[in-house]
């Protein structure tokens, strides 16, 4: 009551409103800087600890891939405890094990089990024995994509031995999803159902003006830049490059909105921000052999959907070989892996529905209308509804007749935290012919041809010299000076001693401040200015993407030497 009277007095006095706003602004500013200081220290502590997986669950290591005959920097964990509950209290012995594999795309493992309301948490609450495939910060010397796939297959075999007669459910997030698809489509194949979350399989697909990332390879001249960065890193590709690339997609969020949301509600957002940033700033490396194989064969070559990717001598991946049921979870709000890239491989592999049914395959897809790429793995709401629905329905997949289905979740209450029968899952049959996405194959064929030439030129004339002058010291210096690191570490008192004064001030701030009412005109002006800045940055990002797209079409369409505009065959050289 006293606080309400105080707020009413402030609202009736313009001078008091200004003073209250300035006091609140100062407090938020100090707390904001202190949060950035703590983020930097967390980043340093996490690296000094060896960057362990950030799982919110107890676990034990079952198999260390670094000790196998063909080693790779992966390990298989078994989840042993759910909060205060022993695992045995949750398990249903009739349910198959679930193996969750996180993306190795610049950051560390753990996003699939980052909190209780996560893929790991939902699988445990549904009674499944849960395993988690992690990876370590540095690759093994000379590690290849084939080595990684070999270790992942060994993990699957280990689960089959531990749970006889129950093929595991493989849960792949982003990059890990296409890795599971490679395992399913190689010469040995898989048996259990696979769930691919935000996983690209058709790398040239996308919507004009919405998905600019697929154009980056062409605008940079192909994969030669990947070779260069890996050589400058002493044979290692710094994951900070991938994180920076991700952040560049949404300049409004990266440059303003993310930090302003923290600043505007510093007391409510601080812990959430620090928890997420601990994962986001833990950059992991890939070997040159891995990243080159990924970029050349998948993102630029698009060899997966074409059945041209040779994973090891004598075995070419063919998606037609997949016989285990697939669940594809994508989102229309995902500008990293839009539904185009998650689904367009289906009509490329199966020309019509009849061909899909003749192959005896079952493919189920689920589309979220708005969540972003990371939200597919991180959002508690998505975990409690979509991932829970997938896990509760995975046993029904084998009962479906061969074909293509869209998974629909009927949730009348709107509450994401519910179980069957509070929500209903329907599998509505769809036609392969209905999956129609724009085809830009000719332009991307030319990108692939140019990339091959540029890589050959680089490896012939520049690569040997770059590798000769690169030393472990220079590689580490470039790694430490990457803007993704320096822009965060600059707030630690270990690098900026004056930040200790910010810590001192923050510790003496009022622990229960009087909040500024939303009707405060100065707070309203602040919010309005923030919205204007975000809108301007969004517009700038949209304009940038439009320029990039026009340049791409101009370079690889009309201006391509020796190509008629009506030519759709591409360059097969």
Of 83-97, 286-300, 490-504, least confident by mean pLDDT is 83-97
What digits encode the pLDDT tens for the residues 224-266?
Answer: 999 999 999 999 999 999 999 999 999 999 999 999 999 999 9
Residue-level pLDDT at 565: 47
pLDDT score of 439 more than 90: no
Residue-level pLDDT at 567: 47
Q: Is 170 helix (H, G, I), strand (E, B) or coil?
A: strand
pLDDT score of 415 more than 60: no
CB 251 within 8 A of CB 534: no
Of all residues in the chain, what percent carry a pLDDT higher than 90? Answer: 76
Q: Is 362 helix (H, G, I), strand (E, B) or coil?
A: strand
DSSP 414: -
| Exposure on the CB side of residue 201, measured as CA atoms within 13 A | 31
Question: Can you give the length of the chain in residues?
Answer: 573
Model confidence pTM above 0.95: no
Q: 213: exposed, middle or buried (C-beta count within 10 Å: 0-12, 13-18, 19+)?
A: buried
Residue-level pLDDT at 552: 94
Residue-level pLDDT at 157: 96
Q: Is 204 helix (H, G, I), strand (E, B) or coil?
A: coil
In the structure, what pLDDT confidence band is assigned to residue 189 with cuts at 50, 70 and 90? confident
Residue-level pLDDT at 87: 64
Across the range 348-353, mean pLDDT stands at: 94
Name the CA radius of gyration of the chain, rounded: 25
Mean pLDDT, the chain, as a whole number? Answer: 90
Residue-level pLDDT at 116: 87
Across the range 128-135, mean pLDDT stands at: 96
Of 143-152, 220-229, 456-465, 505-514, least confident by mean pLDDT is 505-514
Tokens for 387? 């991932």
Q: 513: exposed, middle or buried (C-beta count within 10 Å: 0-12, 13-18, 19+)?
A: middle
| Exposure on the CB side of residue 473, measured as CA atoms within 13 A | 1
**236-238 and 285-287 beta bridge pairing:** antiparallel
Across the range 462-468, mean pLDDT stands at: 98
Of 128-137, 193-202, 564-573, least confident by mean pLDDT is 564-573
Q: Per DSSP, what are the bridge partners of residue 287?
A: 236
Residue-level pLDDT at 562: 61
Indicate the helix (H) or strand (E) that contains 35: helix 14-48
| Exposure on the CB side of residue 44, measured as CA atoms within 13 A | 14
Of 410-414, 534-538, 550-554, least confident by mean pLDDT is 410-414
Residue-level pLDDT at 566: 42
Residue-level pLDDT at 35: 98
In angstroms, what CA-CA distances link 219 with 181, 209, 373, 547, 550?
28, 15, 23, 11, 11
Q: 467: exposed, middle or buried (C-beta count within 10 Å: 0-12, 13-18, 19+)?
A: middle
Contacts 24+ apart (CB under 8 A), 479-487: 479/233, 479/238, 479/240, 482/238, 482/240, 482/241, 482/244, 483/244, 484/240, 484/243, 484/244, 484/247, 484/281, 484/283, 485/43, 485/240, 485/281, 485/283
Q: 414: exposed, middle or buried (C-beta count within 10 Å: 0-12, 13-18, 19+)?
A: exposed
pLDDT score of 20 more than 70: yes
Of 167, 290, 183, the closest CA to residue 226 belongs to 290
Across the range 516-520, mean pLDDT stands at: 85
Across the range 199-217, mean pLDDT stands at: 87
Set out the domains of the chain in order of their start, with CATH numbers: 18-49+223-289+440-573 (no CATH), 58-204+302-434 (3.40.50.1820)
DSSP 66: G
Phi, psi dihedrals of residue 10, rounded to the nearest 5°: -60, -45
pLDDT score of 511 more than 70: no
Instruction: Quickly list H helices, 253-412.
Output: 258-264, 266-280, 288-294, 303-306, 339-343, 345-349, 353-358, 375-378, 380-382, 388-393
Tokens for 90? 């949750």
DSSP 364: E
pLDDT score of 568 more than 50: no
Q: Is 558 helix (H, G, I), strand (E, B) or coil?
A: helix
Of 89-98, 483-492, 534-543, least confident by mean pLDDT is 89-98
CA distance 367 to 518: 36
Tokens for 286? 């890939």
Q: Is 55 helix (H, G, I), strand (E, B) or coil?
A: coil
**362-368 and 236-238 beta bridge pairing:** unpaired
Helix 441-457 and helix 224-232, axial crossing angle in degrees, nearest 10: 40
Give the DSSP per-residue string, 76-93. Answer: EEEEEEETTEEGGGT--T
CB 16 within 8 A of CB 464: no
pLDDT score of 371 more than 60: yes
Residue-level pLDDT at 187: 76
Phi, psi dihedrals of residue 205, rounded to the nearest 5°: -80, 155
In angstroms, what CA-CA distances link 62 with 124, 127, 133, 180, 294?
18, 20, 10, 20, 28
Residue-level pLDDT at 90: 74
Higher-confidence position of 176 and 419: 176
CA distance 224 to 239: 17
**98-101 and 403-410 beta bridge pairing:** unpaired
Residue-level pLDDT at 436: 78
The residues, any chain, with a CB within 8 Å of residue 252's CB and separated by 6 or more, are 534, 535, 537, 538, 541
Across the range 287-292, mean pLDDT stands at: 98
């Amino acid at each position: 009551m006293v606080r309400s009277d105080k707020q009413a007095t402030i609202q009736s006095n313009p001078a008091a409103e200004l003073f209250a706003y300035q006091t609140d602004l100062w407090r938020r500013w100090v707390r904001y800087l202190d949060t950035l200081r703590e983020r930097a220290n967390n980043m340093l502590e996490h690296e000094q600890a060896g960057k362990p997986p950030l799982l919110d669950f107890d676990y034990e290591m079952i198999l260390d891939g670094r000790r196998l005959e063909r080693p790779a920097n992966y390990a298989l964990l078994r989840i042993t405890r759910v909060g205060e509950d022993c695992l045995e209290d949750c398990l249903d012995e009739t349910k198959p094990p679930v193996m969750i594999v996180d993306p190795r795309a610049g950051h560390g493992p753990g996003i699939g089990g980052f909190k209780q309301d996560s893929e790991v948490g939902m699988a445990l609450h549904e009674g499944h024995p849960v395993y988690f495939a992690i990876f370590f910060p540095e690759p093994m010397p000379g590690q290849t994509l084939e080595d990684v796939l070999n270790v992942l297959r060994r993990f699957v075999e280990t689960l089959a031995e531990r749970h006889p007669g129950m093929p595991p459910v493989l849960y792949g997030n982003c990059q890990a999803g296409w890795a599971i698809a490679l395992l399913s489509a190689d010469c040995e194949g898989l048996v259990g159902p696979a769930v691919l979350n935000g996983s690209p399989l058709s790398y040239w697909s996308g919507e004009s003006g919405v998905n600019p990332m697929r154009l980056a390879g062409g605008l940079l001249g192909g994969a030669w830049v990947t070779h260069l960065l890996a050589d400058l890193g002493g044979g290692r590709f710094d994951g900070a490059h991938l994180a920076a690339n991700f952040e560049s997609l949404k300049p409004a969020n990266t440059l303003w909105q993310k930090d302003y949301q923290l600043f505007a509600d510093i007391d409510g957002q601080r812990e959430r921000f620090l928890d997420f940033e601990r994962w986001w700033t833990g950059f992991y490396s890939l070997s040159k052999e891995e990243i080159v194989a990924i970029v050349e064969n998948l993102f630029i070559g698009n060899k997966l959907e074409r059945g041209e990717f040779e994973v090891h001598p004598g075995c070419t991946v063919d998606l037609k070989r997949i016989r285990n049921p697939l669940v594809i979870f994508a989102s229309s709000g995902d500008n990293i892996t839009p539904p185009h890239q998650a689904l367009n491989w289906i009509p490329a592999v199966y020309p019509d529905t009849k061909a899909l049914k003749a192959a005896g395959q079952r493919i189920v897809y689920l589309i979220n209308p708005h969540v972003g790429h990371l939200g597919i793995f991180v959002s508690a709401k998505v975990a409690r509804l979509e991932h829970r629905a997938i896990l509760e329905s995975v046993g029904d997949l084998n009962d479906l007749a061969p074909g293509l289905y869209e998974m629909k979740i009927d949730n009348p209450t709107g509450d994401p935290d519910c179980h069957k029968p509070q929500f209903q899952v329907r599998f509505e049959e769809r036609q392969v012919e209905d999956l129609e996405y724009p085809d830009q194959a000719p332009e991307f064929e030319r990108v692939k041809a140019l990339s091959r030439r540029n890589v050959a030129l680089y490896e012939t004339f520049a690569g040997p010299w770059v590798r000769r002058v690169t030393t472990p010291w220079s590689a580490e210096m470039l790694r430490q000076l990457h803007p993704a690191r320096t822009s965060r570490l600059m707030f630690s008192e270990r690098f900026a001693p004056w930040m200790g004064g910010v810590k001192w001030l923050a510790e003496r701030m009022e622990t229960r401040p009087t909040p500024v009412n939303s009707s405060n005109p100065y707070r309203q002006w602040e919010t309005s200015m923030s919205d204007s800045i975000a809108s301007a940055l969004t517009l700038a990002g949209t304009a940038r993407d439009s320029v990039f797209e026009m340049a791409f079409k101009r370079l690889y369409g009309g201006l391509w030497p020796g190509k008629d505009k009506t030519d759709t065959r591409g360059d097969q050289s």
